[in-house]
Amino acid sequence: MMPVKCEICPLRKKPLFAEMDDDIVRFMQEFKVGEMKVKAGTTLMMEGSNAPQLYTALEGMGLRYKTLIDGDRQVINFVLPGDFIGLQAGVMREMQHSVEASTDMILCVFDRKTLWDLFQNHPERAFDLTWVAAVEEHLLGESLAILGQMSGIERVARAFVRLHDRCEALDLKHGAGVPLPFKQQDLADALGLSLVHTNKTLKKLRDQSIAKWANGKLEVMSYTRLCEIAQLDPTRDPIIRPLI
Amino acid sequence: MMPVKCEICPLRKKPLFAEMDDDIVRFMQEFKVGEMKVKAGTTLMMEGSNAPQLYTALEGMGLRYKTLIDGDRQVINFVLPGDFIGLQAGVMREMQHSVEASTDMILCVFDRKTLWDLFQNHPERAFDLTWVAAVEEHLLGESLAILGQMSGIERVARAFVRLHDRCEALDLKHGAGVPLPFKQQDLADALGLSLVHTNKTLKKLRDQSIAKWANGKLEVMSYTRLCEIAQLDPTRDPIIRPLI
DNA sequence: CGTGACTTTGACAAATGTCAAAGCATGTGG
DNA sequence: CCACATGCTTTGACATTTGTCAAAGTCACG
């Protein structure tokens, strides 16, 4: 099967991503060495290793996580289409977290070795890479504030709003809900809550008809009330980011 | 008073920072538009604003924080000499957190407008900037795991080890301890604990003769035991980063 | 002195975690 | 087609951690 041409990349035109000049698109086409399909459960990057390849998620979802000495797992964030994977491997010695596919995924593949070429000959793209890193930094800072200052139900609500909005921006809404192909344990590990407590919190949102998450689908029934709990302004603007 | 020349910058030679070519040093000297001294308590960057200037901390300490709707504050991290301030303002529309000086500080000042020149004409420096962003991302991911998975005493121990090591790497050790010019409330806000609980946790570490923090000085009495609680290998290597 | 900012303590309340078991799909081998 | 094993979700009872409130202690400073 032919890989998707960057030129006609369906992600590129979503308003979530910064616009891209035509010559940048041509360069990306060159920079891209191929496409990869992986099955759910595949480990894409390993904490502590150095990866020869970098990716951009095209389809499917995954998660980034760290494993602690005592075996606990912290999910750093969820990987959705448009996310760049492997920046740390690209510029630091090695990855500081692992990345795993939660569903089957399709990824754009880049070569780590040509990253330097990007910096030397395509300053706009280098800038965009830094921009992506800064957006990532922002999102992690926000997550930190969520774990540090918010209660269980607030954290779940926040996660739902974030994921719901991102899916909508990607036009992933089909029917009543958006896809959320994770386990409750994944969400628990992301929010720093126990599985049991997460489960009971989900029940509360269900019982109050605010949001329902089952069978890999998230249905937000009252966006307003969800935002209220999540301490978010329902009319705020999304963060624009470049697509690598 | 004459500003410090980059050439003789005392930070540059610390093994914590990546080595820098001579011509890069010359460029940085140009890039640098001046030096700034601020008093303790000064707000250097405001969440939501765009800053015309970027900084590198030379002396003194500060903190980055976010304020939530309900007034809670999350301290994102502590700012120590060598930290770059304002990357988000440089590449995104605006800062996503505030930065405040906890002590008097001296900062290297750069002009946001010349950042683009850096990307166009100094790819190594552009790479370093991305590298810094990646290191920051790593540290935030680690913080996330700390807040999400560790108990109160473990969090405090982690923070102490991190800060102690960083101060040592900067040769800030004088006498029995390292400077830690923050309030208990700052640490509490960084670790997602209440002030009272933080205070009681500090007492535990004191009573067990593991670490004592008073009058802005942190004295680590048993690095081994502290690392044990912090779930850290006491022999691990520090992360090297570029100095901007 | 008296005031304000910070730290320390004790008593009590609330949120969250742990354990254990049951429920419920789904897939597989007999 | 059934029986059973597996992985995930749901529940209830109970334990523990952490937060909240209120007050007192300490220290620097005008």
Give how far B14 is from chain A: nearest CA, Å.
18
Entry field: residues in chain B = 244
Cβ pair B74:A116 closer than 8 A: no
Q: State whether CATH 1.10.10.10 applies to domain A149-229.
A: yes
Portions of chain B given CATH number 1.10.10.10: 151-230
User: Which stretch of DSSP H or E encloses residue B123?
Assistant: helix B123-149
SS (H, E, C) B157-172: HHHHHHHHHHHHHCCC
Do residues A97 and A215 lie in contact, with contact meaning Cβ atoms separated by under 8 Å? no
The pLDDT tens digits for B181-211 are 999 999 999 999 999 999 999 999 999 999 9
Neighbours of B1 (CB within 10 A): 5
Which amino acid makes up residue B230? A
Count of A–B CB contacts within 8 Å?
Answer: 146
In chain A, residues 80-109 whose CB comes closer than 8 Å to chain B: 87-88, 90-92, 96-97
Return the sign of the alpha-carbon dihedral for residues A21, A25, A27, A28: positive
SS3 A168: helix
Q: Which two tokens stand for residue B173?
A: 């050790």
Give how far A239 is from chain B: nearest CA, Å.
9
Please tell me the distance from the alpha carbon of residue A190 to that of residue A78, in angstroms, as a whole number: 9
Do residues A144 and B76 lie in contact, with contact meaning Cβ atoms separated by under 8 Å? yes
pLDDT per residue rounded down to tens, chain A (244 residues): 566 778 889 999 999 999 999 999 999 999 999 999 999 999 999 999 999 999 999 999 999 999 999 999 999 999 999 999 999 999 998 999 999 999 999 999 999 999 999 999 999 999 999 999 999 999 999 999 999 999 999 999 999 999 999 999 999 998 889 999 999 999 999 999 999 999 999 999 999 999 999 999 999 999 999 999 999 999 999 999 999 9
Q: Which residue, chain included where needed, has tokens 């009971």?
A: A200
Burial B152-185 (b: 16+ CB within 10 A, else e): bbbbbbbbbbbbbbbbebbebeeeebbbbbbeee
Q: State whether CATH 3.40.50.150 applies to domain B151-230.
A: no
Entry field: residues in chain A = 244
SS3 A193: coil
Do residues A193 and A153 lie in contact, with contact meaning Cβ atoms separated by under 8 Å? no
Angle at B67 between CA B188 and CA B81, to 5 degrees: 65
Portions of chain A given CATH number 2.60.120.10: 6-144
> Distance, angstroms, CA B236 to C1' C5?
39
Give Cα B110 to chain centroid, integer Å: 18
Is the Cβ of B126 closer than 8 Å to some Cβ of chain A?
yes
Q: Computed over its alpha carbons, how large is the radius of gyration of chain B?
A: 18
Neighbours of A124 (CB within 10 A): 17
Question: Any idea of the CA torsion for A207, A237, B148, B191, to the nearest 10 degrees?
Answer: -120
Do residues B177 and B219 lie in contact, with contact meaning Cβ atoms separated by under 8 Å? yes
Is the Cβ of B24 closer than 8 Å to some Cβ of chain A?
no
CATH architecture of A6-144: Sandwich (2.60)
